Chain A
Amino acid sequence: MTETRKVCIIGGNTTPFDYNNYHMTIEGMAANVMLETMDDLPEFNLRDIDFVIYSHFSVHFGKQLCPEWIIHDHLGLVGVPHFRVENGGNTGGSALYAAYSIVKSGIADVVPVIGWETMDNVSQSQGAEFIAIAADTRYELLVGGIYPIFYAAGALKWMKENKFKEEDFALIGMKNRNNAMDNPKAQWYRNEHKYLTVDDVMNSRLIAYPLKKYDCCLMSRGLAIVLVCSEEYAKKVAKDSGYITIDGAGLSSCTIRAGDRTSFPGWNERYGKGYPDLTEFAACRNAAERCFKQAGIPWKDSYKYIDVAEIHDAFSSSEAQIYKALGWADENNIAEFVRNRETFMGGSIPTNPGGGLMGYGHPVGATGLMSTVEVFYQLTGKIPEKHLSKKSEVPDARVGLVNSHAGTGTSISNFILRTAEGGR
């Protein structure tokens, strides 16, 4: 690939994430988050925006097609080109990928990515079913499957193959919710608001074995914005506030039906027969390999080159499966890697210090952007200002990873972000 210009992130924030306790329209949420971002970046002007990417998963929740048109008008951006990206749980990551591509190619310079979901418009069980419409409805939805069930079916086999225990998953569920206790915008902090033990996770109600309630993410209402731009613009408006560069971006796909991963020709060719099966995330590995290569990081043991990660912990099990797909451990040492608490605060790669989907929340279209915002805070020294304390700060972090994940691993993106020179 020919050398093209650098793409930067100069700002971003989220609304509080919540369920039922936060009354705010989508345009009200967008205005609030844009105001907070403008306050962080006094030299950024709405008039500088030359493209907007909207990130929203399911119009079922709002009974409104093209809801992004409502937000766009409300922000006063008539004439500015826009479109919406919809790509399941990886909507946020895919929207970021679109903004990155547009800036990288030189089509535009200042591109906010605005993502949201309003999942508390329907009941929890209806919400779970709305999301499961992204599974092949003709076969999987009808037999009673919702995503926690599909994931659990993969996780149970994975657990046996990797010598994992239920308690190992519970450790991850505990970590992310407890991390969220330092984050005032996190749903776990705002609603349940308590520290958990492994026993609490083990004793929570069965969702689908081996997953219990506290192994699963939260359904949320919320919105997030990430401000993507050219390096030239970043130097102009964010020299004082700090900014980061997108040094690697990888996006990959896998099958919609997990049952088709037993022997897919495309994967057999790339990774050998039988991979990923229903247990591994081939799209995550593939996207990571591409992303890390751009950033000059090896796939194997990549955690040694990364200071902080915000990854798609839809389930405690999927967080562990993602570790493997990112090259952090293999079947011989993944259980040990988790038990050694390598991904806790103070470990070799703190993961989801912002709380992740289990602690911060999972308003689908906003989620990948929330992860990006959290890494942006970490890499620009803003955690003490944005969280409650330094407890959830990774000291002097300069390399961050964002992972966004859809379906049962059907679309996955990974990004390597680095603090820009003089950027913190």
Chain B
Amino acid sequence: MTNKKNLNLHETTSPPKMKIVKEFRDENTKEVGFKFVDYYISEDKTLFQAHLHYDQLYTVRSAELSPYALGLLEGKIMGTKCPKCGDVFFPPRVNCWNLDCKLTKTEWIELPQTGKVHTYTIAGWSGRSSLKRLPFVLAYVILDGVTTAVANEIREINPWNAEFNMLVKVKFVPKEQRVGAITDFYFVPADDWKPSPMNPEKERIKKLCEPVYKWVASLK
């Protein structure tokens, strides 16, 4: 058998004794299996269609990435660092990406909660789960000292005021609302940041946002 010590494999508690710490499922979270809920027939009586409902709970095992999720619950941004080449990853990579480092296991480090906007967009449409938050700024931010960029929302800003290279800081949602996922935090402008004066592009974006605000207000 292979000597595990030399390979430096990822190891987690086995068998783990998982204990439920918090449950926040509501009455809409139901697993009912396959269930038809209606049917249609075309007016000329030649075509049939129906709606099938199928919902499923998924177990998301964070496993060796758990320090990341546990960190979020505590209001910490946990990333990883390669002890060989020094690259720092957030989102975390548990093995280094540099082929010369030969999958070296990275080390967990707590990251600073400040960074810079690398690029961004103003979303006016999104997936079903995010429609009611529109319009919002989605930015790729490089946290200080990190090699990679991470996507997350910038809040507490008028969308048209976002800009390249703006300084931002991490803000966590209140502790009782955290779920151990990336949505436990978002970005806000750094303390001393002031929006630049309006210009034609910002006016244009503001105008494009107006119908989005109206549309979202009309959503049930």
Choose one: A139, A146, A157; the contact of B126 (CB below 8 Å): A146
Interface pair A144/B122, CB less than 8 Å apart: no
17 more A-B residue pairs beyond the given contacts A139-B151, A155-B121, A262-B147, with a C-beta to C-beta distance below 8 A = A125-B131, A128-B126, A138-B60, A138-B182, A142-B183, A143-B138, A144-B127, A145-B138, A149-B126, A153-B120, A206-B208, A206-B209, A206-B212, A208-B125, A209-B122, A260-B148, A262-B149
A153 touches B209 (CB 8 A): no
A148 lies within 8 A of chain B by Cβ: yes
Mask, A69-105, CB within 8 Å of B = 1, is 0000000000000000000000000000000000000
Q: A284 in the interface, Cβ–Cβ < 8 Å?
A: no
Is the CB–CB distance between B133 and A139 below 8 Å?
no
Whether A259 and B129, one on each chain, are in contact in the complex, defined by CB atoms closer than 8 angstroms, is no
Shortest C-beta distance, B54 to chain A (Å), equals 6
Q: Please, which residues of chain A bring their CB within 8 A of the CB of B120? A: 153, 156
- B119's closest neighbor in chain A, by CB? A157
The interface-forming segment of A263-271, A291-299, A322-330 is: A263-271
Q: B-facing mask of A124-154, CB < 8 A → 1, else 0?
A: 0110110010001011111111101110111
Interface residues of B (CB under 8 A from A): 47, 49, 52, 54, 60, 65, 87, 91, 97-100, 118-131, 133, 135-136, 138-140, 142, 147-153, 164, 181-183, 186, 204-205, 208-209, 211-212
Question: Given A136-B91, A153-B151, A262-B148, do A208 and B182 touch, yes or no (CB 8 Å)?
Answer: no
| A138 pairs with B127, CB closer than 8 A | no
* Cα separation A259 to B116 with both chains bound (whole Å): 13
- In the complex, which of the residues A136, A146, A207, A262 contacts B127, with contact meaning CB atoms closer than 8 Å? A146
B interface majority secondary structure: mixed
Using an 8 Å CB-CB cutoff, how does the interface string of A247-266 with B read, 1 for contact, 0 for none? Answer: 00000000001111011111
27 A–B contacts, CB within 8 A, in A order: A23-B47, A125-B126, A125-B131, A126-B128, A128-B126, A140-B151, A143-B151, A143-B152, A143-B183, A144-B126, A144-B127, A144-B129, A149-B121, A149-B126, A149-B138, A153-B138, A153-B139, A205-B124, A205-B208, A206-B125, A257-B151, A258-B151, A259-B91, A262-B147, A262-B149, A266-B99, A278-B118
- Of all chain A residues, the one with the shortest Cβ separation from B209 is A206
Q: Within 8 Å CB of B100, what residues of A?
A: 265
- Check A138–B91 contact: CB distance below 8 A: yes
Residues of A within 8 A of B126 (CB): 125, 128, 144-146, 149
- How many angstroms from the CA of A145 to the CA of B122 in the assembled complex? 11
Q: Are B127 and A153 closer than 8 Å at their CB atoms?
A: no
The minimal Cβ–Cβ distance linking A159 to chain B, given in whole angstroms, is: 10
CB proximity of A187 to chain B, nearest CB, Å? 19
A141's nearest neighbour on chain B, judged by CB, is: B127
Q: Shortest beta-carbon distance, A363 to chain B, in Å?
A: 18
Residue among A125, A153, A166, A278 with the highest chain B CB neighbour number at 10 A: A153
Q: How far is the CA of A394 from the CA of B54 in the complex (A)?
A: 48
Q: Is the CB of B119 within 8 A of A154?
A: yes
Q: Whole-angstrom distance between the alpha carbons of A279 and B211 in the complex?
A: 28
Q: A305-329 toward B: CB 8 Å interface, digit per residue (1/0)?
A: 0000000000000000000000000
Contact indicator per residue, chain A 147-189, by CB within 8 Å of chain B (1) or not (0): 0111011111100100000100000000000000000000000
- On whether A129 and B127 interact (CB within 8 A), knowing A138-B182, A209-B121, the answer reads yes
Name the one of A63, A123, A207 contacting B124, with C-beta atoms under 8 angstroms.
A207
Complex: how many Å from CA A259 to CA B121?
14
A265 to B99, CA, bound (A): 8
Known contacts A209-B121, A209-B124; decide if A264 and B97 are in contact (CB<8 Å).
Answer: yes
Residue in chain A with minimal CB distance to B68: A138
The docked-state distance in angstroms from the alpha carbon of A145 to that of B123 is 9
Inter-chain CA distance A143–B133, complex, in Å, is 11
